[in-house]
Every structure is written in structure tokens, then in C-alpha cells.
Amino acid sequence: MKFRTLAIHAGNKADRETGAVVPPIHIASTYVQPGGKRGAFDYSRSGNPTRSNVEQTLNALENGKGALAFASGMAATHCVTMLLESNDHVLAGADIYGGTYRLFHDIISRGGVSVSLADSTRLDTFAGHFSSRTRLVWIESPGNPQMTITDIRACAELAHDHGALLAVDNTFATPVLTRPLELGADIVMHSATKYLGGHSDLLGGALVVRDRELWEQLYFTQNATGAVLSPFDSFLLSRGLKTLELRVREQSNTAHRLAEWLEADVRVARVMYPGLPGHPGHQTAQRQMEGGMGAMLSFEINGDFEETKRVVYSTRLFQLAVSLGAVESLIEQPAGMSHASYAAEDRTKHGITDNLIRLSVGLEDFEDLREDLDQALN
Ligand SMILES: *Cc1c(COP(=O)(O)O)cnc(C)c1O
């Protein structure tokens, strides 16, 4: 079956008891064990039918060998890091999500795990940052907020040559545009809060893996630590996934047109969108991404921190908020918002300038969004 069909049918069978086309939300925390015999489910942390349904959908969409749904994206990422032991090393891309940066630097470091950040778009120099203790490579493509593109296939080979696992935060690309497991990655992580849910009404995370044994280890860790997705949020996620492809394709189209419009505007200094031929990751993106270049884009205005702030405060349709990936468009200033948890020095080093604006392009009409940006820039 093709992606759109899987999104609707994988994990979504009609209810056998009632014939309901949408499976019911199973809210029970525990399950009877007749005569002491365990059935498919025994306790909701260990397994829940509604969560299990959405895990099947996620697994089908990422073409994996097993999925796990978590209470948030950070819970999913944390679960991966719990596979590590003291003295292990993590090599991460330079422009990872701010919360991942904080988890790596302030939490997992307490257990004696060391982390280095390096530019994963340049694998020749990235390779120099491996050590004999590197067990995990963590990347995002497109990266945040510069929309950097990492060659996932080449990065997977590099990680495997060094005996490390490759995990890809696929939140920005979604499996509609990139399926990292097919390119050799071992783990795909999602903040399901973003495109997968798609409506700014749930918090969730997911892991999908290429290998059954790795799934078993992660399942054990998830069950032992408990950050599972609730039944209601599992339902909302299932509901969102059914329209994922349509939303992501349309939002990407609009983002592409806005990027081209912004690039031609004198009030704008620079546009970062992998769909533009001038973007350093354009060629890799064309090879790696299928049917769109994503609905996230960043740009720098000709102005300082205060003027940039004024632009993001002046939009009417684009709402000033962190987060991304939903039907409503959002705008933010990374230096003061999404990347505030980066150390100032790392912020500058990774090009998060004061005049940088990040857009999450929603499902609204292109003309309305363009007019809104136009009046805000004025
Ligand atoms: C939001 C986000 C996360 C964290 O997910 P939560 O659901 O907020 O915990 C991780 N990575 C990226 C790229 C994100 O945008």
C-alpha cells in the first residue's frame, strides 16, 4: 500500500464488536487476566490498544520494524539516551533542537555521558569528532533553524563504520518527505506534537526503529520509565496522521512560494530554505527529500534585534509562538525564543543571529500569508 492508504488503514481496523469504523479509545488502566492468564494487554503502561494502533500506523509510515509512542518528543529522545552508559559519547549535529541540546548538556551529562556538537552537513570534518566511545550519532535534517541538510545515507555509513547507531530527529521532514530508516538510519525520532499531530492540540513523541532487537531494548526502557502516550492523545495522533501527506505537501508548496517571494524582497537579507537553488543543502535535499522541501523556513531581515522583534510582533495571521507543524502558521525569533536555551556562544557559532525569523507555514492561503508578511515587514 502507498503512504496515504497506510496513513488511513494501518492500525485502524473497524471495531470487531460494534463495527465502528473508528476504533474506540481504550481508557482502561488494567485488564482482566482470567485464571491468571495474561492476554495481549495487562496494564496500560506496558501496552494499550489505542496506543498500539497508532504505533502500527507510525511504524508503517516510517517503514520500520517497530514503533513506540511517548508522552512527548523529549520523552522519546530521553528513552534513546537511556541506552547509553557512563563514559559513552554522543556526537550530535550542530543545530539540534534547543530541548535536545539541553537534555544532552544538562541531564545525560550527569550520568557520565559526554556530548559533542559538530556540523553534520560536512561529513569530512564531522568524521573527525568520533571517538572510540561514540555510541550514538544524533542529527536533524532539515536542521533548526537554518534548514541545514545532512546526507542521511552517508551519515549512517559513517556512524556504522565507527560502531555507532544513527538516530534522526525527523520532526521537520516527516516521513512524507524523508524516511531515514530506508536511508540506513537505526532510529527515527519524532516530536508528534508537530506535523504528525498537526493541529496544535496534542503533545507526543515517537520512536521507530529498523531492528527488532533495538525495539525490544527501547520498549523495556519505556516500560521501565513510563513516559507513554495517553489513550486520548493516541487517538488524536491517529486522527492527525490520516491527513499528514496532504497537509505536508500543501504546506511545503506554500512555504516554497513564500521563500521565493521573500528572497526577491529588498527588506530581506537572506532566506534559508532547502528548496532555493542557493541553499547550501539544495542538491542533497533534492536527492533525499521526496515531493517537497518542507514547510519550515527562516530568513534574516535587514535590521537589528529590536526591529526583528517588531516584525514578529506585527503579523496578524502568523501567530507569535514557538512550536511548529500545525495547520495555523507561526512566527518566532529564535535568538529570543526557541533557541534561548542554547548558550549565547553556541547560538552565535551556529548562526542564530538577532535578525533571524523562523516561520512554520500552515495551511492558510498563500496570498493571505504573503500579505501578512508584507505588512509586518513594512
Ligand atoms: C518540538 C521538537 C522536539 C521536542 O518535542 P516535544 O514534543 O516538544 O517534547 C524535538 N525535536 C524537534 C525538531 C522539535 O521541533
What CATH number is given to the structural domain containing 47? 3.40.640.10
Domain end: 208, 241, 274, which one?
A: 241
188 plus 47 within the same structural domain: yes
In the block, residue with C-alpha cell 530554505: 273
264 plus 321 within the same structural domain: yes
C-alpha cell at 39: 492476554
Atom of ligand 1 nearest to the CA of 324: 15
Separation of CA 279 and ligand 1 centre (Å) = 24
210 plus 320 within the same structural domain: no
| Ligand 1 pocket member 169 (CB < 6 A) | yes
Q: What is the structure's pLDDT at 144?
A: 87
| Ligand 1 pocket member 59 (CB < 6 A) | no
Contacts of 77 (CB under 8 A, 6+ apart): 99, 100, 103, 169, 189, 205
Separation of CA 58 and ligand 1 centre (Å) = 16
| Ligand 1 pocket member 99 (CB < 6 A) | yes
The residues that are catalytic are 45, 97, 169, 194
Number of domains in the chain: 2
Q: Is 203 strand, coil or helix?
A: coil
39 to each of 93, 220, 234, how far by Cα in Å?
Answer: 43, 18, 21
| Ligand 1 pocket member 140 (CB < 6 A) | yes
278 plus 140 within the same structural domain: no
Q: What is the structure's pLDDT at 339?
A: 76
| Ligand 1 pocket member 72 (CB < 6 A) | yes
Domain end: 225, 241, 257, which one?
A: 241
115 plus 230 within the same structural domain: yes
Instruction: Identify which of 144, 191, 196, 298 to mutate to test ligand 1's pocket (most ligand atoms within 8 A of the CB).
Output: 191
Q: What is the structure's pLDDT at 180?
A: 98
- Taking CA atoms only, the protein residue closest to ligand 1 atom 1 is 191
What is the domain-level CATH number for residue 281? 3.90.1150.10
31 plus 144 within the same structural domain: yes
Separation of CA 177 and ligand 1 centre (Å) = 18
224 plus 300 within the same structural domain: no
- Taking CA atoms only, the protein residue closest to ligand 1 atom 6 is 73
| Ligand 1 pocket member 73 (CB < 6 A) | yes
73 plus 161 within the same structural domain: yes
Q: What is the structure's pLDDT at 95?
A: 86
Atom of ligand 1 nearest to the CA of 325: 15
| Ligand 1 pocket member 372 (CB < 6 A) | no
Atom of ligand 1 nearest to the CA of 144: 13
113 plus 29 within the same structural domain: yes
202 plus 272 within the same structural domain: no
335 to each of 2, 290, 309, 330, 357, how far by Cα in Å?
Answer: 40, 30, 10, 16, 9
Q: What is the structure's pLDDT at 347?
A: 79
d(CA 258, CA 260): 5
Separation of CA 133 and ligand 1 centre (Å) = 27
| Ligand 1 pocket member 95 (CB < 6 A) | no
201 plus 120 within the same structural domain: yes
- Taking CA atoms only, the protein residue closest to ligand 1 atom 2 is 191
Q: Block means of pLDDT (10 residues each) for the chain, length 378 residues?
A: 97 94 96 92 97 98 98 98 98 93 94 96 97 98 94 98 98 98 98 98 98 98 98 98 98 98 98 97 97 97 94 97 96 85 76 93 98 98
Q: What is the structure's pLDDT at 340?
A: 74
d(CA 167, CA 187): 4
- Taking CA atoms only, the protein residue closest to ligand 1 atom 5 is 73
Enclosing domain of residue 315: 244-377
| Ligand 1 pocket member 193 (CB < 6 A) | yes
Contacts of 118 (CB under 8 A, 6+ apart): 91, 92, 93, 94, 125, 126, 128, 129
Q: What is the structure's pLDDT at 344?
A: 78
d(CA 45, CA 112): 29
Domain end: 223, 241, 259, which one?
A: 241
Closest CA to 57 of 238, 240, 198, 326: 238
191 plus 66 within the same structural domain: yes
